[in-house]
Structure 1
């Protein structure tokens, strides 16, 4: 294996210093290869060295302006730094350059949600779910976006699917309870709030919802 492959292997095994050495040697051997800078950037981002990571992603983009993986890496850095406008732009650029993966769409949606642009985030979560229907968090976030646009029935379906994929997803049960309460299905709402509380006893919103439904069912 070459130094880049050895670096990736070491990174997967949690041997980060060794990975850094291999990536450094790979760059020294071929300083014009953008992939090596992307991999080093990902390594730095994994240990929260975001400023350094960004500089490596920038170098990769300088060498290859169409490097989708570098743009995606920059998006993650911006998201961690809470620069959500820049994150959304970087993620969408990565998608444009061929990063057709569920995570890219999911993170674009998350960036837009952080900017209170749920309507714009909706199609990105929809695509994330299309690409990976087994991701409970993608289903959950898609449901939240649907609910924010008044699509409660569709939202409930996504929350239900999220609970099936992750039976310990307290927030999905809570939001499913909210959807049932809006449909005036008090018993079903109560059961969902109760499940959320069993999973997370300090879930204040679920506790309040459960209490309200108890009153409604008297």
Structure 2
């Protein structure tokens, strides 16, 4: 495992050297194997433009390399230029028709195009030529997963991992497929077998930790990640996930210590700094939290999570104008978060910017209609403005999303009463009382004037057990 991470660092050093030479417009000279590593690094991180540039630089040096021609065709497909990718791989096929990667590349193009049956057929041709290729099984898994055939996808991800247990993406995709098909629990033995076969393989323990994390057994997840770290102390991803497991157990100081070990010495990442900031936020240590959020933004000024985190700090201290500034910046950077828009709406409402608050809540429900809180908060403002019917219609969305949540039925009841729809209001109240009688006090917390409605009080009293 240490060797794996030494190799990883060596790849990063090679990539850094390549980028420096390009920035200085120097002649780039690398071994063919180094170019392959550079291209693979960019592809793994979905940096397809840089991957294509690396392909072109490599082909300038090794114009007759079939491997590089295939790499370029695959990267071209990943960029979405399928016609050009097909032209390039057809050219390779004329040079080296028996190369398994010709079929694999055609499979990748078909997967990208959504032609999944065709993709599977191409990958199967590749497997017939080279049956022990873990990457072909992985690509078959991706094709089946995109085709919504999760059991078949899981079968090939498992085979890919048997051949190459170090494929972290393969583990994540397998766990996703098992989770979505309701087969996670029955696969404990599959993950444990890797640790049984080689108890000193850090990656095997790391993968077992991922399994327990998905099962939401954070104690066992932490134990597995800890074993991985004991075997390989510089296993940065294991430190990160151990920290995450501690966060899920609300052990924030332990999490901070692990996040501080989740990057190479002297090379902090924006993600680690932001995570540490959030832990301090949970501990209500505002100054430390803000310091780490700021460090995250120094490393990456466009990190929306760090802008949002600073907004939460201001919100917790009731510094609403500053909160608005940070929340608005977060929405500018990532406008598809219902949470960001809802937080902005709440802050705008606190300073009396009702129109801006309504706009923010409308945006929250537009980008995340499945999140009830946006509908609820939007409805509350409309109720305060006297728009009772609109408020009732909006909270109905929350009721439909969570029909067994009594809270939303009580709110709908109050809005309908205010709008004069007594029969519908009492129907909502009866549903709410049946779901959770004790929560009926919410009605009076939100709307104290309802204590003066005798018919309402009688109905509540009838449901007292």
TM-score, normalised on structure 1? 0.81
Change (3 A) 1:168 1:6: closer
Change (3 A) 1:166 1:43: farther
Please name the residue that 1:22 is paired with: 258
Is residue 65 of structure 1 aligned with residue 306 of structure 2?
Answer: no
> How far is the alpha carbon of 1:132 from its aligned partner?
2.5
Change (3 A) 1:159 1:6: same
Which protein is bigger by CA-based radius of gyration? 2
1:153 pairs with one of 377, 385, 389:
389
Native 8 Å contact 1:190 1:209 kept in 2: no
Pairing of 1:49-198 with structure 2 (within 5 A):
49-98=285-334, 100-164=336-400, 165=402, 167-170=404-407, 172-192=408-428, 198=437
Count of residues in Structure 1 that have an aligned counterpart in Structure 2: 214
Unaligned runs of 5+ in 1: none
Native 8 Å contact 2:406 2:439 kept in 1: no
> How far is the alpha carbon of 1:66 from its aligned partner?
2.0
- SS state at 2:301 partner: coil
- SS state at 1:29 partner: coil
Q: Distance in 1 between matches of 2:428 and 2:454?
A: 10
2:439 pairs with one of 187, 200, 210:
200
Please name the residue that 2:453 is paired with: 212
Report 1 or 2 for greater relative contact order, CA contacts < 8 Å, sequence distance ≥ 6: 1
Q: Report the RMSD for the aligned CA atoms in angstroms.
A: 2.9
Unaligned runs of 5+ in 2: 1-234, 457-465
Change (3 A) 1:175 1:13: closer
Native 8 Å contact 1:72 1:94 kept in 2: yes
Please name the residue that 1:12 is paired with: 248
Change (3 A) 1:18 1:36: same
TM-score, normalised on structure 2? 0.41
> How far is the alpha carbon of 1:143 from its aligned partner?
1.1
> How far is the alpha carbon of 1:86 from its aligned partner?
1.0
Change (3 A) 1:11 1:30: farther
Change (3 A) 1:174 1:118: farther
Q: Distance in 1 between matches of 2:242 and 2:451?
A: 53
